[in-house]
Amino acid sequence: MKYIIANWKAYIVSKKDALLLLDKTNKAAKKSSSEVIVCPPYTFLADAKKMKNIRIGAQNVFYADKGAYTGEVTLPMLKELDIEYVILGHSERRGYFSETDEVINEKVKAALKAGLKVILCVGEKERKEKNVIPEIVAEQVRADLKGVPKSKLTDLLVAYEPIWAIGTGASDTPENAYQAALYIRKTIGDIYQNVKAGKSVKFLYGGSVNSQNVMDFVGYIGIDGVLVGGASVKYGEFEEMIRLVG
């Protein structure tokens, strides 16, 4: 089974547009054997949960259950809505909101403990050697998974998103994405001193994925799906991706 995940970011701002996009995605997902997951802004989560053919994720969450944290959304709030997935560590959270690996690690541990499935994003800002995945990717994986029990890896999806490819139209090559999958799985295997631990984690590619290149990525054994940003809010484009992946 493949994963097709839509990260709406903050592109959709009206309920009218959100409902239209949800309806189109839901109809496309009905004909698919893939796991179609939509991660809209918080304000549309309740509406998204009414869709029968798609899974729903949040774009972020705070690690504390409750308290004096103005503006934060907590895990019990997501659980109240029966949200299944959450994106953590996205480069835009790391960059615009200065989230460190230490903060991301706290979120990952708390979300997994609460029973959510985590879509953990890692990726480098630049690549000096064209076909070599930088060490910073392994450093992020090690830091973000610090203290995570091996038993929780079944609820973990790792999305490799090279920052230089996000929203630029210049995606990485499928071959490099596959090498990133091997590299990340080896890193996880080393963390837990268990090769099977690394192999058990679902691997996603993200970064300028669209209907023209999606099959190049999901066609690789070892790449379990894609995390789609801007293309996921274009009417017809995301539905076509769902149709192609099947």
Element (H, E) at 135: helix 135-144
Catalytic residue from among 92, 124, 161, 239: 161
State the catalytic residue, choosing from 35, 84, 90, 124: 90
Amino acid at position 223, single letter = I
Residues 208, 95, 74, 42, CA torsion sign? negative
- State the angle between helix axes of 15-30 and 237-245 in degrees (0 to 180), rounded to the nearest 10: 20
| Helix, strand, or coil (residue 37) | strand
Q: Residue 217 carries which side chain, given as an amino acid letter? A: F
Q: What DSSP string runs through 182-246? A: HHHHHHHHHHHT-HHHHHHSEEEEESS--TTTHHHHHTSTT--EEEESGGGGSTTHHHHHHHHH-
Known catalytic membership, residue 90? yes
Residues labelled catalytic: 90, 161
